[in-house]
A and B are shown apart, each in its own frame.
Chain A
């Protein structure tokens, strides 16, 4: 599903964020990418979304070599890749329903599809009773659920989560992890960048550890350190 082959990324200011990274993630896997700040986790996620391009090496996502995906086709690539961030990225003037519906609306889905799928997915993430709540009426955990619902509503092949529990307390974090696990169980490949040690240790999933842009550990059923 995801394949990095000798990938290096050097930014224009000369900072090398990734250096000779090779790894492969199979369809339906759940992978933690761990490492301290600046180790290259976010760069890796940006490469998978083609927000940045690799300086060296090749990146494959969903069977496509991203170097060959022309810029006008990038939007279609992103429809196969859901994204969740630490800061939720919800629109404050839209309800939970509208926030999730927005993702379908802007890729041209019909109103009937939105009216059918959005309540379904919000029910799925446990917010069936908060369709019309605005983000500031929701707790952090609930906002992150809306954001996960938005990432999953278009049934992506891959879900990229960049520090999804970064702003949440431990109990809420566990709830979010349960949800991500649930999403993973229906076949979505999940890649989660984090430095939440307790969560990584509790989940016992594959762990890829980065340090200064290099993979220093790739372990199935691993722990944080």
Chain B
């Protein structure tokens, strides 16, 4: 008990003694941890968006018109055998034209001039467990990219009976790249900030050590162990970064309430991060704070405390 009491008093007096510098270290820790949390949340947000968009996407395998029942069964069997495929559904002429009518309900010209049953081919709608593995479908059907005149890319397949396969891999790739670039960008800023937080906290500790060098000299002379001398400084660093972490979590909630919740009223077509997402990020911020404190302690007290 006595020991805990001692550490507590030493830490408190240390924080009081270099209050301004401690505050600077805390602020840097706060900014760094805030950016770190922000990076995690941005990544999470994009994850939500991509899942929402790609979760509903199906691959449409259009069949030569008119499709014989044998062709349908044959292609269906190829697709069902793939591990990535979760579901295959055959859209016959009725189903296809029903959707066509729905899709162009506002454009009478299309409905009147196009004979759906003649022009739109039937298709197999394939759901994938992982939309990013779209290429396994095209490989199984031995399809190849073919650039169209309008610049879009279609898949032309060697498997008989298949007209073409709708291609959304390009869109997916782009989304994945955007997410990656954004989260890597924010994460590297956060990382740089974390490193500077480490050095600022280390510097505070060092200044504390310097201010108390006489005291520390005496402690060493009378036989205080290194840990006895170090622990108050380590706790001091930890208090600074953890306070920064608390402020960072609080600010992230604030950002979520002020910006995201306001967006929620206008944006309905994709999901937004919730309080629980911010909460899930909190432990990582605290962990980062602890890591910053420990590394800062190691750097700040190296050499200074050699026997």
Point out residues on A near B: beta carbons under 8 Å.
49-51, 71-72, 74-79, 83, 89, 91, 102-103, 105-108, 110-111, 150, 154
Contacts and interface: CB of A to CB of B under 8 A. Distances in A.
A154 B222 contact: yes
Contacts of B220: 75, 78
Identify the interface centre among B220, B221, B226: most chain A CB within 10 Å of its CB.
B221
Identify the interface centre among B6, B218, B222, B229: most chain A CB within 10 Å of its CB.
B222
A77 B223 contact: yes
B218 A91 contact: yes
Given A72-B225, A76-B223, 17 more contacts: A51-B307, A71-B306, A75-B224, A75-B307, A77-B223, A78-B221, A78-B223, A89-B214, A89-B218, A91-B215, A102-B222, A105-B6, A106-B222, A106-B224, A107-B223, A107-B228, A108-B228
Identify the interface centre among A78, A79, A106: most chain B CB within 10 Å of its CB.
A106
A91 B213 CA distance: 11
A75 B214 contact: no
Contact of A75 (B2, B217, B223, B306): B223
Contacts of B2: 108, 110-111
Contacts of B224: 75, 106-107
13 contacts: A50-B307, A71-B306, A75-B225, A75-B226, A78-B223, A79-B223, A83-B221, A89-B217, A102-B222, A106-B224, A107-B223, A108-B2, A150-B222
Contacts of B214: 89, 91
B219 A106 contact: yes
B262 interface: no
Contact of B307 (A71, A103, A106, A110): A71
Contacts of A74: 307
Contacts of B174: none
B3 interface: yes
Contacts of A111: 2
A71 B225 CA distance: 10
Interface of B: 2-3, 6, 214-215, 217-226, 228-229, 306-307
Question: Which 10 residue pairs across A and B have the least CB separation, nearest first?
Answer: A79-B223, A78-B223, A106-B224, A103-B222, A75-B223, A75-B225, A106-B219, A71-B307, A74-B307, A83-B221
A72 to B, nearest CB: 7
A102 B218 contact: yes
Given A74-B307, A89-B214, A108 B3 contact: yes
Contacts of B225: 72, 75-76, 107
Contacts of A78: 220-223
Contacts of A50: 307
Identify the interface centre among A50, A78, A150: most chain B CB within 10 Å of its CB.
A78
A89 B215 CA distance: 9
Contacts of B218: 89, 91, 102-103
Given A50-B307, A71-B307, A91-B214, A107 B222 contact: yes
Contacts of B307: 50-51, 71, 74-75
A18 B226 CA distance: 29
Contacts of B223: 75-79, 107, 154
A79 B220 CA distance: 10
Contacts of A75: 220, 223-226, 228, 307
A153 to B, nearest CB: 9
Nearest to A89: B218
A108 B228 CA distance: 9
Identify the interface centre among A71, A105, A111, A154: most chain B CB within 10 Å of its CB.
A105
Contacts of A51: 307
B134 to A, nearest CB: 60
A3 to B, nearest CB: 21
A110 B225 CA distance: 16
Contacts of A72: 225-226
B139 to A, nearest CB: 63
A154 B224 CA distance: 12
Nearest to B3: A108
Contacts of B229: 106
A89 B221 contact: yes
A125 to B, nearest CB: 16
Nearest to A105: B6
B223 to A, nearest CB: 4
A79 B215 contact: no
Identify the interface centre among B217, B224, B226: most chain A CB within 10 Å of its CB.
B224
Contacts of A107: 222-225, 228
A110 B1 CA distance: 10
A193 B210 CA distance: 29
A171 B72 CA distance: 116
Contacts of A103: 218, 222
